[in-house]
Structure 1
């Protein structure tokens, strides 16, 4: 292809007329930091009916390119987005699981769509098209029809091999993709590859809407009763509900993390898992935290520690280095976080619910806030970032009064323990119950209602006071009043149905309404 050089004076950059009639503007922009070759900025001015106007437009383009080069705002490399990401991930300092997730998003969603795009050509339109495709179909099917097989290996297709249906990539994953690209752009800017971060031109994503969906008090009571069918599993679920600790933090706990005298549980580390591999690491926020436990939970843990020691045949107390929750009788190994999640999901599935163990953190936070504990204290107990980090920086002022009040508030809102645990010789919590100082608020409300029923003030079929009236009369939260109604229902004294007020049960049609989980647990414990 032949080109003709436009006559011009000695100046930076050149303007070349192409056979098509267009003018190509070319400006030297330094050495490419990736290829180590001379790097040029080029732009083409389309043909025009008036050559003089076309030439004037080309001069403006040349002036603009030179200005961008002088102000270091130009792209200084011909590297592609894929090359930048390959370099970027090598320098990331994140957890192994997080890095694996980033690599998966890059390989499945970024590289197929943007990997071959040069950094200099990434603009707002390219990014809008990219994110639009992620929202259209996570498989990037381009509108084709095919079968999604359950495995890449040779197999006989069944109902799990289905025709492809386009589904959007989740908003959380899209936010992670944007964070990856933005971080790579910032690194390229520091390295001198680009003058500005091209990925910041993307349209802002809508803020995430939290949807914690914690178990209700009634559901929490059922979960606790179901879990206590196995002593070890029941203790783990109970502590998860009380402390709000993450599953990996629960798996990492050792007995030296518990100070029985002060009732403080220290969260020092967490167990991470990728496939079959597990390892101990720092907590998610890379900081230790201390959680004050209520007296009943401390008594439970004391009795459980003695029970574990007797079971292992190592005396009356487990050593401090032993894991609180372990498949090894002497506590030398930790539980796998995925195993804990799967067991919890299966347990809830048997009850008829689709739940995960992380929702116990939401339950703990919801109940604490509902009982009037300030958000800063709740964030500190749960180890949340942001507000939690601020709380930990003023830890000495936080733990003394507010955390003690938080422990007592949560204890009053926890589900009642299965009735037969206190009568088990090998696992007694009577000491902790005596130390708690008598009935909890919901038990007092339930006792008053029972008295009204017994003396005839409330007759079968009469409506019980509403939750709001009980909460106002006894100066408790709505959750505590609701637990009192649930206690009457469990004893067969009240009839509760969705959308209607609770009523006094009719003895003629009422049956023993003791929870099936408690009866089943009692039978199992008696048999053993």
Structure 2
């Protein structure tokens, strides 16, 4: 009879290796590196000073094994620098965008976290990275005590060499860095370099609050008057103010895209610039647009073209048919550079002691159009915005006193009934609904508010019962009860087998709903 074989113990996964210092090194195999093809290990060293050295090593080994089994472990030992190199080599963006990406990667991402392995890039590392950027753009951690020299070459210091003052990066710049990191890490997951995206666990930088500062009408008039000491420069400033075009778009304007008879200007391209290098490219939103011009502007452009033709005739030349509208060449074959016009405008405003810049003329154009009653979609079309005017209203429409007063008068007739009753003696009594107690009341209140404010319009479908159950984590009976209350108020119509929709709401029915709510509050 053959001897019975003793079952062998299963091979233990992972290793706990003693080091000469007395510390313990934990190592767990995590598959092959997709980049190098070599074996990839998760490793961590437990210092010999740890009070529970062996137990801590076992805990780390168990954690690594769980990560491998649940496929949450990084698949590579590549660094953030390696990922960024691969990312820049794969993305398809225009030249201006790429230059912006490379600058932020070179100045901020590589110096601070480029050396980190992707396996070490977690939420804490990313949050710390953003905190450093908010503290100081020089990455001194807010504790810098050094001189910022005007040049890196050997020199004698003067007033331009100043003591460092910490200034954090703007919120918008940190958001852009966050976007670059997000794009790279998203591809790392797609390429199977990472199992999960660590950026999803980190704190997302807040969205910057739009705060446009267009020049006041008096300031705009002063700028225009001073600019017209040079007729070509004055025409440029005036046309920028009228059209709200970006500086690169203004520099790219051509004579063959200006129809003086139909009073229409076409914008098809833009001029990009980085240092001394310039190039022609698509507009920022890759949209071509036609802008109608007023009679005064057309008369100005006719006079300006005539002046340009007369100057060319003096040198026995003619304007090129597709020549640039604003040019230093006799035949207008070249264009003005965007940085040059920005610097010239800044010097002009500095002499006038006006705190504005060339881009603010774009704010000015949008603000004046909206204050004149032009609808946001039309303004968005002139400025070259997408989103049906949402960007225009959110960013480019500053407050105008006269328009604000007019809006206040118009708004009163469109507001719902004020939830406060003013007595003869001037005292106020609230007519608000009592405190919401049940879940169905909360659902009904949220939907009622969306209908009253116009977020849900007549004919729109309200969320289904299934969606309400998932959103509020309630049973189907609770969601149905909320819809039934809205139906009783006359705010929605519902029938068996069909989705509930917002009912048409006249002024009289709206008053009935408010009266019904008040009666319920008094019960």
The reply on whether 1:68 has 2:70 as its aligned counterpart is yes
Q: Which residue pairs with 1:427 in the alignment? A: none
Q: State whether residues 372 and 403 of structure 2, in contact with CA within 8 Å, keep that contact through their aligned partners in structure 1.
A: no
Measure the CA separation in 1 of the matches of 2:203 and 2:261.
Answer: 55
> Kindly tell me: are residues 56 and 330 of structure 1, through their superposed partners in 2, closer, same or farther at Cα, counting changes over 3 Å?
closer
Cα pair 2:138 2:166 within 8 Å, conserved: yes
Q: Match of 2:231?
A: 231
Equivalent pair of 1:45/1:57 in contact (CA under 8 Å): no
When residues 56 and 311 of structure 1 are mapped into structure 2, their CA distance, relative to the original with a 3 A threshold, is closer
- Give the superposed CA RMSD: 3.4
Q: CA deviation at 1:253?
A: 0.6
Using the TM superposition, give the Cα deviation of residue 268 of structure 1 relative to its aligned residue in structure 2, in angstroms.
0.6
SS of 1:284 mapped into structure 2: coil
1:156 matched residue in structure 2: 156
1:370-425 per-position Cα deviation (integer Å, ceiling 9, x unaligned): 1111112111110124336999xxxxxxxxxxxxxxxxxxxxx9xxxxxxxxxxxx
Tell me if the contact between 1:148 and 1:161 (Cα under 8 Å) persists in the aligned partners: yes
When residues 326 and 58 of structure 1 are mapped into structure 2, their CA distance, relative to the original with a 3 A threshold, is closer
Assess if the C-alpha contact under 8 Å between 2:28 and 2:61 holds in 1.
Answer: no
Cα-to-partner distance string for 1:456-482 (whole Å, 9 max, x where unaligned)? xxxxxxxxxx9799989xx9xxxxxxx
Question: 2: CA distance between counterparts of 1:144 and 1:469?
Answer: 46
Q: For each residue in 1:88-109, what CA deviation from the matched residue of structure 2 results, as whole angstroms up to 9, or x when unmatched?
A: 1222323333322322222222
* Contact 2:320/2:333, CA 8 A, preserved across alignment: no
State the distance in 2 between where 1:226 and 1:9 align: 91
Q: Counterpart of 1:176?
A: 176
Structure 2 counterpart SS, 1:305? helix
Distance in 1, matches of 2:181 and 2:346, equals 34
Deviation of the 1:319 alpha carbon:
4.5
Counterpart position of 2:214: 214
For residue 213 of structure 1, report the CA deviation from its aligned partner. 0.5
Aligned-residue offset at 1:361: 0.4
8 Å CA contact retained: 2:136, 2:168: yes
Q: Once the 2 structures are TM-superposed, how far is the Cα of residue 144 of structure 1 from its aligned partner?
A: 4.6
Q: Secondary structure at the match of 2:16?
A: strand
Residues 23 and 373 from structure 1, CA distance in 2 versus in 1: closer, same or farther, beyond 3 angstroms? same
Inter-partner Cα distance in structure 1 for 2:222 and 2:349: 9
- 2:91 is matched with 92
* 1:242-277 deviation per Cα after TM superposition (whole angstroms, max 9, x unaligned): 000111111111111112232211101011111112
- Distance in 1 between the 2:40 and 2:221 partners? 68
The CA deviation at 1:54 is 7.1
CA contact (8 A) 1:12 1:27 kept: no
Equivalent-residue separation in structure 1 for 2:84 and 2:373 (angstroms): 47
Partner of 1:340: 341
Structure 1, residues 294-322: CA drift from partner, whole Å, max 9, x if none? 12212222232222112211899845312
Match status 1:105 vs 2:104: yes
Whether the 8 Å contact between 1:15 and 1:23 is mirrored in structure 2 is no
- SS for the counterpart of 1:281 is strand
Whole-angstrom CA distance in 2 between matches of 1:289 and 1:144: 49
Q: 1:191 to 1:234 in 2, by over 3 A?
A: same
Query: Structure 1: any 5+ residue segments left out of the alignment?
Result: 1-6, 392-412, 414-465, 476-528
- Residues 185, 219 of structure 1: CA spacing in aligned structure 2 closer, same or farther, 3 A cutoff? same
Equivalent position SS for 1:90:
helix
2:371 alignment counterpart:
370
Structure 2: distance between partners of 1:469 and 1:30: 65
1:312 paired residue number: 312
SS in 1 for 2:106: helix
CA 26–169 in structure 1, closer or farther in 2 if over 3 Å, else same: same
Aligned partner of 1:261 in structure 2 is 261
CA distance in 2, matches of 1:58, 1:149: 48
**Equivalences for residues 27-176 of structure 1 within 5 A:** 27-42=28-43, 57=59, 60-61=62-63, 63-69=65-71, 73-141=72-140, 143-176=143-176
- Alpha-carbon distance, 1:111 to partner: 1.6
Q: TM-score, normalised by structure 1?
A: 0.67
Once the two structures are TM-superposed, the CA of residue 23 in structure 1 deviates from its matched residue by 7.2
Higher deviation after alignment, 289-298 or 20-29: 20-29
Query: Is the contact made by 1:175 and 1:205 (CA closer than 8 Å) also made in structure 2?
Result: yes
- 2:264 touches 2:292 (CA, 8 Å); kept in 1? yes
Distance 1:316 1:163 in 2: 55
CA distance in 1, matches of 2:153, 2:52: 62
Task: Quote how far apart the aligned CAs of 1:11 are.
Answer: 4.9
